[in-house]
Amino acid sequence: MNTDAQVVYLNGEYKAIEEAYVSVLDRGFLFGDGVYEVIPAYGGHLLRLEEHLQRLQNSLDGIRLKNPLTNQAWETMFNSLIKKNVGDDQYLYVQITRGVAPKRDHNFPDHVHQTVFAMSNVLPAVPRAESEKGIEAVTLDDIRWHACNIKSTALLANTLLRQQATDKGAGEAILIRDGLATEGSASNVFVVIDGVVVTAPTSPLLLPGITRDLVLELANTHDIACQQRDITEAELRTASEIWITSSTREILPVLKLDGKAVGDGVAGPVWQRMIDIYQQYKQQLREGRA
Ligand SMILES: Cc1ncc(COP(=O)(O)O)c(C=O)c1O
């Protein structure tokens, strides 16, 4: 099937999105009691599937939920969804909740029938000229919990922070906790200081982004100096370049922070190099060579 009608996966079945329903007693609905993943696929090839499945496993462990499928079964399902939907490039969204309990109760139900949902959407290409225009970002206090390494569907703090950024005409909120830049509301943050690419180390205070890891790996293989260490707010404000990274936004330069130009106010030379390397990697993946 490859029509325009979107086909999704729900608890073992493929169905039209209009026919996919979940109970109002689902704990994902009542408590945000679930985890998710977002995985890009270029030309039908899933990007870093193993790493995404490992992070999914870590998230499930973090909320004490059993993994409902084997890695082989996940892969088969993801590939079927990609084939059933349109788009050369797509991104898969998958979420697992603790399912439907007989009544609303904070305690975990005795018998858990997880709800497993996945969908795939077109991933629009980001033309170089567009990404070069970059985004503005604002700094905001990181009001989230202390388990941001779990990719939880409970994203209220992230959505409030993103909306505050949007209300100020910015494309992302860069979050500050105890004087350090942790990450964006839906992205990781990189800065360039004295030519060195720096990103915060993984910890419970940020999501270990798959794009983040890929950027670090590609930088290493191309002899671009990089460090994983804390980024102070002062360093963020004086960095020559700031980038945000995520599976759907790739690597985007931040050209203004809190209304002030970052560096020269244009996409910087290290970003230019990194985005070329990233696009090359995507092309190799499309050709089945990565
Ligand atoms: C809070 C947060 N940090 C970082 C990221 C980037 O992760 P990835 O590169 O795996 O998309 C995301 C992605 O949505 C996110 O929501």
Q: Whose CA is nearest to atom 7 of ligand 1?
A: 209
Confidence (pLDDT) at 180: 98
**Distances, alpha carbon 199 to alpha carbons 28, 45, 58, 190, in Å:** 32, 27, 21, 5
Q: Can you tell me which atom of ligand 1 is nearest the CA of 185? A: 1
* Mean pLDDT for the chain overall: 97
CB 189 within 8 A of CB 137: no
CB 119 within 8 A of CB 8: yes
Residue 268 CA to ligand 1 center (angstroms) comes to 22
Residue 270 CA to ligand 1 center (angstroms) comes to 21
Residue 110 CA to ligand 1 center (angstroms) comes to 32
Residue 224 CA to ligand 1 center (angstroms) comes to 22
Q: Can you tell me which atom of ligand 1 is nearest the CA of 52? A: 10
What are 98-117's pLDDT values in tens digits? 999 999 999 999 988 999 99
Query: Which residues on neighbouring strands pair with residue 191, listed in sequence order?
Result: 198, 242
Confidence (pLDDT) at 1: 47
Q: Can you tell me which atom of ligand 1 is nearest the CA of 38? A: 11
Q: Can you tell me which atom of ligand 1 is nearest the CA of 158? A: 1
Confidence (pLDDT) at 3: 53
* 259, two tokens: 């209304």
What are 142-188's pLDDT values in tens digits? 999 999 999 999 999 999 999 999 999 999 999 999 999 999 999 99
* Residue to mutate (ligand 1; options 49, 162, 177, 247; most atoms within 8 A of CB): 247
Q: What positions carry a catalytic annotation?
A: 151
Rounded CA gap, 183 and 151, in Å? 14
Q: Whose CA is nearest to atom 4 of ligand 1?
A: 187
Residue 208 CA to ligand 1 center (angstroms) comes to 7
**Distances, alpha carbon 31 to alpha carbons 106, 143, 146, 154, in Å:** 8, 19, 17, 8
**Distances, alpha carbon 198 to alpha carbons 238, 251, 267, in Å:** 13, 14, 17
| Residue among 98, 117, 125, 93 at smallest CA distance from 109 | 98
Tens of pLDDT along the chain (290 residues)? 445 789 999 999 999 999 999 999 999 999 999 999 999 999 999 999 999 999 999 999 999 999 999 999 999 999 999 999 999 999 999 999 999 999 999 999 998 899 999 999 999 998 999 999 999 999 999 999 999 999 999 999 999 999 999 999 999 999 999 999 999 999 999 999 999 999 999 999 999 999 999 999 999 999 999 999 999 999 999 999 999 999 999 999 999 999 999 999 999 999 999 999 999 999 999 999 98
Q: Whose CA is nearest to atom 3 of ligand 1?
A: 187
Rounded CA gap, 130 and 115, in Å? 38
Residue 259's Cβ-count burial label (10 Å; 0-12, 13-18, 19+) is exposed
**Sequence spans of domains, the chain:** 7-122, 128-286
CB 197 within 8 A of CB 270: yes
- Record: fold of 7-122: D-amino Acid Aminotransferase; Chain A, domain 1 (3.30.470)
How many other CB atoms sit within 10 Å of the CB of residue 211? 21
Task: Provide the residue count of the chain.
Answer: 290
- Record: fold of 128-286: D-amino Acid Aminotransferase; Chain A, domain 2 (3.20.10)
Confidence (pLDDT) at 37: 99
Q: Interior CA angle at 119 toward 101 and 93, to 5°?
A: 85
Ligand 1 site residues, Cβ closer than 6 angstroms: 38, 158, 183, 186-188, 207, 209-212, 245-247
Confidence (pLDDT) at 290: 87
CB 144 within 8 A of CB 175: yes
Rounded CA gap, 248 and 43, in Å? 15
CB 197 within 8 A of CB 222: no
